[in-house]
Amino acid sequence: MIAEVIVDIATSAIDRKFDYLVPERYTSVVQVGSRVKVPFGPREIMGFIVGLKEETDVDIQKQKELMDVVDLHPLLTTEMMELAKWVKQDTLCLEIDVLQMMLPAALRSTYEKVVVLEKPDLIKDEELIALFGSKNFFVLPKDIDSTTVKKLKRLADEGILSFETVMKQKTAVKKIAYLELSQDTTIFQQVKEALTANAKKQLALLDKLASENRTSIAMKEITNEWGFTKAVVDQLVQKGIGTITEKEVYREPVDFQSVEKKSPLQMTEEQQIAYEKVLHSFEQHRAETFLLHGITGSGKTEIYLQMIAHALSVGKQAIMLVPEIALTPQMTERFVERFGSQVAVLHSGLSAGEKYDQWRKIHRSEVKVVVGARSAIFAPFENVGVIIMDEEHESTYKQEDSPRYHARDIAIWRSEYHNCPVILGSATPSLESFARAQKGVYTLLTLVNRPKSQPLPPVQIVDMREEMKKGNRSVFSIDLVEAMRNRFSRNEQVVLLLNKRGYSSFVLCRDCGTVMNCPSCDISLTYHRANERMKCHYCAYENPVPTSCPSCQSDHIRFFGSGTQKIEEEIAKLFPAEKMLRMDVDTTRKKGAHASILQAFGNQEASILLGTQMIAKGLDFPNVTLVGVLSADTALFVPDFRAAEKTFQLLAQVSGRAGRHDKEGNVILQTYSPEHYAIQFSKAHDYQGFYRQEMFYRHEGKYPPYTFIGSIIFSHEDLLSVSDYAMKSVQWLRENLPDSVEVIGPSIASISRLQNRYRYQCLLKYRKDEDVGHLLHQLQNVYKTHYMKNGYHLSITKNPSVLM
């Protein structure tokens, strides 16, 4: 038998199947989807079996046997392997990268080089002896200097030492030791009678066991809570009262006991209609995509819950995607309330072990519902009944680095595989999705009423130019200050949004204006207050903040925070009695900080929550009756065709935060461009109006959804080389692409240098994937054969979420 194996090496030349002979003893255990240990050149590495066959074209002399079958049960389903092939083809990435991404990080193998001392008496060099310490081996560090390596290699040639590569698995299954008591109850009496008088502890433990009347007790409980040492237990085990066994346990991030079970809510007529349309499609086993457009508070989640419940009732599984930032404990609780321990949760806050355990529960079908962020779309269920993506417009559903997949595309692919519906839900759908719904590619479902909430809050626009004329130079308009004062007098809460997308704090010299930049990237360094250091977001560079300016030696160094600090001071002056919580990149760097700030605000520990766009999601607070947007327009003027769409989505989202409950809410938008349509339509809560206006501009500019965008980045350490490569490539594209494809560039990329590499960018606007797919593959092949080895980089992103 022959196994087709994709090996664990992420290089394009290796990213294909290799045939291995299956030794006789493994023929009954090898399965497609299992991992295997294989010889590859002089090494041993991990690989995935992607096929089994009886014959191979490979030279008989080249053929090798696989060494070991690692998994007795396949890790990857047939579906996942097919999906990986499609993702490779569609996003121009490596198949092995997709396969690795489908599995939890804990299953990834790592490789270590170990130096083993063979003849200890023949080694003279003191430095080398020190490396071994008292052992006869050491792990070769990655950053070891080359002279030491040379010395070691020489000794290896003489046979004094040898190099070995060790394959390691990161995290294993967690096991807990249990004392299993014997079934034979007479043994206890026998042992007890045979005890000598000085065996007081053993006697006490026997009595305790008798009083507990359990058959299995965790060793931890016996030692920590009952206060017996392991020696006492061991002695009794030796006398035959039972055995110590290891039991597999799951590291469980959700406490199911503490969550009260809840029944489905009565749906409104509008919800019922939407639900039944999906249900009909579900019953027909159709792979239909629904766009559920419902304003904030219109009850989309109840439709999700009931659809999932129905899928489970006929033995199917469900995948529920939520953007990472909205995946709060409150969010997951809603699912646990309905489905109890049938829910698995996957998000970035889990440890590697917890993620692995959640994944195993999914893989073994011990849970039926997955609630998770982007990567949860790869949940290895085998009988999916419905896939739901909440807030489908979120750009975080697109993975920024390879494999550059969009969760929406994966969702639709999987729905076709399982013949089940997909629900894309949003209050402000992406233009792409809404346009597809208009064309009938997706089925549009609309919710316009808010069953439990007040009508959408009135939005007031404050023209900050007028404030300037009145002589108010503060970031707070007179109206906003007045409204805030009014809320505080009623003991209500206020949310303030500082709309400064993408800005982080930087370090600047006040005398000459020099901004501290990364020496290897054309980007300013980010100031980290916690340790007084400056870091580069794009490479590993890190340095303490200088005491004097490197270009003019002045010591007037200033830090520009995300802007929230300055506003914090101003609030303290205006409302000295009010407590405030700040939420921005600085205060949420630590894991869990985000959730704890929101929780504190929910507990009324402060009356003001000030933050950047990250506050737009998450909890809804019943006591918040005013949302103030300090600078509604700053994101409008970034050079991105989605700027208006993103601004509208953000404003719509924060507006929904005010007055979701019995109290009436208000929104105040401060702006320097009150006439802009994104702001005007936000005020009117008019998605459709915004959609029509924005579609007009997209049509004018030939932007999505009228076209698709492809972004190609060329980079090299040498500026002239990369400009030459970019020019040649783009010229070739122009000559070979059909006229319907617009080729823009090449031009210097917006981040012109990254990790010491100069960057050029080219943009493609095309209408059909077939128009560019073939040529992009060809461009990549030319890159692999002629450019890659000379230090060039080529990166192709289809439908980038940001134009960088």
Q: Which residues bind DNA (CB under 7 A)?
A: 9-11, 13-14, 17-21, 38-43, 56, 58, 62-64, 111, 113, 150, 154, 163, 165, 789
Q: Reduced to 3 DSSP states, what percent helix, strand and coil does the chain have, rounded to the nearest 5?
A: 40, 25, 40
Residues in Cβ contact with 93 at an 8 Å cutoff, skipping those fewer than 6 apart:
87, 402, 403, 404
539 annotated as belonging to a binding site for a ligand: yes
541 makes contact, choosing from Zn ion, DNA, none, with CB < 5 to 8 Å by partner type, with Zn ion
Q: Please check whether residue 449 is in contact with residue 298, taking contact to mean a CB–CB distance below 8 angstroms.
A: yes
Q: CB 66 → DNA: shortest distance, Å?
A: 8
552 is in an annotated binding site: yes
CB-facing half-sphere around the CA of 286: CA atoms within 13 A: 13
Task: Give the nearer residue to Zn ion in terms of CB position, either 268 or 517.
Answer: 517
Q: Is 518 in the site for Zn ion (CB under 5 A)?
A: yes
Straight-line distance from the first to the last Cα atom of the chain, in angstroms, rounded to the nearest whole number: 49
575's contact among DNA, Zn ion, none, with CB below 5 to 8 A by partner kind, is none
Nearer to DNA, 402 or 673 (CB): 402
Residue closer to DNA, measured from CB, 154 or 734: 154
Cα–Cα dist 612/621, whole Å? 17
Nearer to Zn ion, 548 or 688 (CB): 548
Answer with the entry of DNA, Zn ion, none that 39 interacts with (C-beta below 5 to 8 A by kind): DNA
The amino acid that residue 478 corresponds to is I
In whole angstroms, give the CA distance from residue 561 to residue 569.
12
Report the 10 Å Cβ neighbour count for 550.
Answer: 10
CB of 760 to Zn ion, least distance (A): 18
CB of 40 to DNA, least distance (A): 5
- Contact between 484 and Zn ion by CB under 5 A: the answer reads no
Q: Residue 521: which of Zn ion, DNA, none does it interact with, CB under 5 to 8 A by kind?
A: Zn ion
| Least distance CB 143 / DNA (angstroms) | 13
42, interface contact from DNA, Zn ion, none, CB < 5-8 Å by kind: DNA
Nearer to Zn ion, 87 or 508 (CB): 508
Nearest approach in angstroms of CB 11 to DNA is 3
- Out of Zn ion, DNA, none, what residue 539 binds, judged by CB under 5 to 8 A for its kind, is Zn ion
**Smallest distance from the beta carbon of 755 to Zn ion, in angstroms?**
6
The distance of closest approach from Cβ of residue 536 to Zn ion in the complex, given in angstroms and rounded to an integer, is 3
Cβ distance to DNA smaller for residue 150 or 510:
150
Q: What is the distance between the alpha carbons of residues 93 and 518, in angstroms, rounded to a whole number?
A: 29
Residues in 521-540 at the binding interface with Zn ion, rule: CB under 5 A: 521, 536, 538-539
Question: Contact between 407 and Zn ion (CB under 5 A)?
Answer: no
Nearer to DNA, 62 or 473 (CB): 62
Is beta strand 369-372 parallel, antiparallel or unpaired with respect to 343-346?
Answer: parallel
Out of 144, 468, 552, 744, which residue is the one contacting Zn ion (CB under 5 A)? 552
Q: Is 46 near Zn ion (CB under 5 A)? A: no
58 touches, from Zn ion, DNA, none (C-beta below 5 to 8 Å by class): DNA
Is 762 annotated as contributing to ligand binding?
Answer: no
Token pair for 34: 């299992």
Is residue 536 part of an annotated ligand binding site?
yes
294 in Cβ contact with 300 (< 8 Å): yes
Contact (Cβ atoms closer than 8 angstroms) between residue 758 and residue 743: no
Q: What's the rounded Cα separation, in Å, for the pair 118 and 161?
A: 5
Choose between 39 and 738: whose C-beta lies nearer to DNA. Answer: 39
User: Minimal distance in Å, beta carbon 61 to DNA?
Assistant: 9
Does 76 sit near Zn ion (CB under 5 A)?
Answer: no
512 annotated ligand-binding residue: yes
Q: Is 21 in the site for Zn ion (CB under 5 A)?
A: no
CA–CA separation, 234 vs 223, rounded Å?
12
Amino acid at 92: L
Which entry of Zn ion, DNA, none binds 19, CB below 5 to 8 A by partner kind?
A: DNA
Nearer to DNA, 114 or 515 (CB): 114
Task: Confirm or deny that 93 is annotated as ligand binding.
Answer: no
- Ligand-binding site membership of 420 (annotated): no
Report the candidate in 129, 187, 188, 182 with the shortest Cα–Cα distance to residue 155: 129
- According to DSSP H, which parts of 625-768 are helical? 643-655, 677-683, 687-700, 719-736
Q: How far apart are CA 367 and CA 379, in angstroms?
A: 11
Give least dist CB 16 to DNA, A. Answer: 8
Partners of 781 in beta bridges: none
* Closest separation in Å from C-beta 15 to DNA: 10
552: partner contacted, choices DNA, Zn ion, none (Cβ within 5-8 A by kind):
Zn ion
Q: CA-CA distance, 218 to 176, in Å (whole number)?
A: 7
Q: Which helix (H) or strand (E) holds 784?
A: none
- The verdict on 84 binding Zn ion (CB under 5 A) reads no
Q: Which is nearer to DNA, 7 or 654 (CB)?
A: 7
Q: How far apart are CA 768 and CA 755, in angstroms?
A: 34
Shortest reach from residue 286's CB to DNA, in Å = 41
Buried b (16+ CB within 10 A) or exposed e, 385-418: bbbbbbbbbbeebbbeebbbbbbbbbbbbbbeeb
Minimum distance from CB of 14 to DNA (Å)?
5
Least separation in angstroms between residue 721's CB and Zn ion is: 20
> What phi-psi label fits residue 385: left (phi over 0), alpha (psi between -120 and 50 degrees) or beta?
alpha
DSSP 3-state assignment of 571? Answer: helix
Which does residue 13 bind out of Zn ion, DNA, none, counting CB within 5 to 8 angstroms by kind?
Answer: DNA
C-alpha to C-alpha distance for 488 and 607, rounded to whole angstroms: 7
How many residues bind Zn ion (CB under 5 A)? The answer is 14
Q: Does the protein bind Zn ion through residue 229 (CB under 5 A)?
A: no
* Residue 515 binds to Zn ion (criterion: CB under 5 A): no
Give CA 461 to chain center in angstroms: 36
Task: Give the residue with the Cβ less far from DNA, 21 or 638.
Answer: 21
Q: Using CA atoms, how far apart are residues 780 and 252, in angstroms rounded to an integer?
A: 44
Least Å from the CB of residue 790 to DNA = 8
- The secondary element (H helix, E strand) that includes residue 46 is strand 43-53
Q: Are 235 and 196 in contact (CB under 8 A)?
A: no
549 contacts Zn ion (rule: CB under 5 A): yes
Q: If binding is defined by CB under 5 A, does position 512 make contact with Zn ion?
A: yes
462 binds Zn ion (CB under 5 A): no
CB closer to DNA out of 162 and 446: 162
Residue 41 interacting partner from DNA, Zn ion, none (CB closer than 5 to 8 Å by kind): DNA
The contacts of residue 219 (CB under 8 Å, 6+ apart) are 176, 177, 178, 179, 230, 233, 244
Q: What distance in Å separates the CA atoms of residue 26 and residue 68, rounded to the nearest whole number?
A: 8
Residue 219 contact among Zn ion, DNA, none, beta carbon within 5 to 8 Å by kind: none
Nearer to DNA, 83 or 161 (CB): 161
According to DSSP, residue 106 is labeled G
Query: Of 46 and 274, which has the nearer Cβ to DNA?
Result: 46
Nearest to 402 by CA among 709, 640, 95, 707: 95
Residues that bind Zn ion (CB under 5 A): 509, 511-512, 514, 518, 520-521, 536, 538-539, 541, 549, 552, 554
Known binding-site residues for Zn(2+) equal 509, 512, 518, 521, 536, 539, 549, 552
State the binding site.
Answer: 509, 512, 518, 521, 536, 539, 549, 552
